[in-house]
Amino acid sequence: MKKALIFDCDGVLADTERDGHLVAFNQMWREQGINWQWSLEQYAQKVKIGGGKERMFSLAKDEDFRAVYPVPESESAWWNIVMGWHKRKTEIYKQAIANGAIPGRPGVKRLAQAALAKGWLLAVCSTSAIASVEAVLRHVMGVELARQFAGVFAGDMVKAKKPAPDVYNLAVEKLNLDPAHCVVVEDTRNGLLAATAARMTCIVTYNELTNNEDFSEAALVLSDFGEPGNEAIAIGQNRTNVQPQGYFTVDDLEQVWRDRQA
């Protein structure tokens, strides 16, 4: 029996949506000479669309965007433009990660190390491009710990992105997992829906972009995993027997797993 702890990437391993992807999108448009910038509020809505290319593609229906950029009528032509923009945006984003501009979220590395030591299998399932996910994983976990992850599964490996369960189903297939023994960490409703559709237990660690979303299906909703000696974590919802004492531990994780088996 293999127990698996599966992390989403953006917003879970690090606040990459706000401090990484949004910044990179806006820098890319400035470089292209396009008079368009996403505000944090606008991007909070776009985050509900799985995948960066898909978020930009949706701008074809935005009248404000069409007022500053001549979107082609042909979907294939528009998609080619979006692909070019996304390539440059990814380069900017990966450089920001390499420069250490985006710290990991509290407790994720500590929890991953402790879970690995207790025999848990570690993986990442994300809607982002594989190169971006691997860059974040190495940055947050460190190269040695990142190498011990059993698998990294990304949006460009599946047909449908979250809230579809495809990326989690792919992890089950490739790693020979039982969904009943998988605990997922997500930060968005789309991610939560994907995990629960894959019949996995889901813990949510929300962030500034997602703290108002509906997480009613989650087993546990936390501000983050926290660190010893830091401010105590906030618990938004708890459908488990876990009672974290200031921060979330591997013992808490194992209790979440045992609750699922009961």
What is the Cα–Cα distance from 140 to 135, expressed in whole angstroms? 9
Task: Tell me the backbone φ, ψ of residue 121, rounded to 5 degrees.
Answer: -85, 140
User: DSSP letter at 61?
Assistant: G
What is the Cα–Cα distance from 74 to 64, expressed in whole angstroms? 19
- Distance from the Cα of residue 97 to its chain's centroid: 15
Tell me whether residue 252 is one of the annotated catalytic residues.
no
What is the Cα–Cα distance from 260 to 262, expressed in whole angstroms? 6
Residue type, 107: G
Task: Tell me the backbone φ, ψ of residue 152, rounded to 5 degrees.
Answer: -125, 120
Q: Which position among 8, 15, 187, 252 bears the catalytic label? A: 8
* Paired strand residues for 104: 14
Q: Which position among 10, 187, 224, 252 bears the catalytic label? A: 10
Residues 6+ apart with CB under 8 A from 235: 220, 221, 222, 223, 244
109, 140 contact by CB (below 8 A)? yes
User: DSSP letter at 187?
Assistant: S
Q: Within 13 A of 13's CA, how many CA atoms are on the CB side? A: 30
Peptide bond before 165: cis, by omega within 30 degrees of 0? no
Q: Comparing C-alpha atoms, which of 234, 171, 220 is closest to residue 198? A: 171
Tell me whether residue 8 is one of the annotated catalytic residues.
yes
**Residues designated catalytic:** 8, 10
